[in-house]
A = this chain, B = another copy of it.
């Protein structure tokens, strides 16, 4: 992966300043390489990806900007080159739900462009982001020509269905503490960063965010995190969580008896 990296003024990131709106790391994107790093396209030959790369539009977003808004007509598939994005869904009742975080090498918007419908979610940039917009028409056309790509999409969707079914199950059967623990372990595996103190969840993560992921309130999340901090399972701060004892959190997620010791 030979991206030419042009750094902004401040390269170093300390763990305490997690939401560095001012740090803008602009990378010269190699479209083909980026596309190939997305699992959907990884099986394709470069020649096959060429029309996609040519049709791709590069775009940048600042922290806080919305890449897409729910109910807008879907035009593009988004591939993330750098930065963190969160996908949220607003219900008719006005409650927001945080579906997932998307980071570099991942994509979103696939469902909407496949149905040629409206985006079912909003996407908000949490940091400075570079993304590629792939026109839905190009993707749809390519799928009808390259069965391999269609199979990739199917695998992607099938995986999503599975994970949603699991989440549904959890939400209906488990208590809040368990669900929060699960959300944390999921986040750890997705955007976790090993440090000496433990696993740092490497996105700005407020109590409110965790509440929206687990279907509870920010108050309850706050209480739960406080409890865990007293038990030295985690180290929580402003929009920041470090998991000090992963096995302890997993134990809570799986509803096992609390593990003895360390």
Binding site for B on A (CB under 8 A): 89, 91-93, 95, 97, 99, 111, 114-115, 120-121, 143-145, 147-148, 150-151, 153-155, 157-162, 164-165, 167-174, 214-215, 254-255
A95 contacts across to B, CB distance below 8 A: 169, 172-173
How many angstroms between the C-alpha atoms of A143 and B144 in the bound complex? Answer: 11
Looking at the assembled complex, report how far the CB atom of A58 sits from the nearest CB atom of chain B, in whole angstroms. 26
A165 touches B89 (CB 8 A): yes
How many angstroms between the C-alpha atoms of A111 and B214 in the bound complex? Answer: 25
A171 contacts across to B, CB distance below 8 A: 168, 171-172, 215
A151 contacts across to B, CB distance below 8 A: 143-144, 150
Partner of A161, one of B164, B170, B174: B164
Partner of A153, one of B154, B164, B167, B254: B154
Partner of A165, one of B120, B150, B154: B120
Q: Output the nearest chain B residue to A157 by Cβ-Cβ distance.
A: B157
How many angstroms between the C-alpha atoms of A145 and B215 in the bound complex? Answer: 43
Partner of A99, one of B115, B153, B155, B165: B165
Looking at the assembled complex, report how far the CB atom of A203 sits from the nearest CB atom of chain B, in whole angstroms. 20
Looking at the assembled complex, report how far the CB atom of A1 sits from the nearest CB atom of chain B, in whole angstroms. 28
Q: Output the nearest chain B residue to A159 by Cβ-Cβ distance.
A: B115
How many angstroms between the C-alpha atoms of A169 and B93 in the bound complex? Answer: 10
Partner of A168, one of B97, B145, B157, B158: B97
Q: What are 6 A-B pairs at a CB distance below 8 A?
A: A89-B169, A91-B169, A144-B151, A160-B161, A172-B215, A173-B215
A173 touches B91 (CB 8 A): yes
B144 touches A144 (CB 8 A): no
A89 contacts across to B, CB distance below 8 A: 165, 169
B170 touches A91 (CB 8 A): yes
A120 touches B162 (CB 8 A): yes
How many angstroms between the C-alpha atoms of A162 and B117 in the bound complex? Answer: 11
Looking at the assembled complex, report how far the CB atom of A235 sits from the nearest CB atom of chain B, in whole angstroms. 27
Looking at the assembled complex, report how far the CB atom of A59 sits from the nearest CB atom of chain B, in whole angstroms. 24
